[in-house]
Amino acid sequence: MTPQEALQKAVGIVGSQSRLAREIGGGITQAHVHYWLTQAPVVPAEHCPTIEYIVRREVLCEQLNPRVNWWVLRN
| Domain range for 59 | 3-74
| Separation of alpha carbons 42 and 36, rounded Å | 7
User: What is the per-residue pLDDT across 11-44, written as a single tens digit (0 to 9) for each?
Assistant: 999 999 999 999 999 999 999 999 999 999 999 9
Domain count, the chain: 1
| Separation of alpha carbons 59 and 3, rounded Å | 10
Q: pTM of this prediction?
A: 0.95
Angle at CA 64, nearest 5°, toward 54 and 68? 115
Which CATH number characterizes residue 44's domain?
A: 1.10.260.40
Strands (E), the chain: none
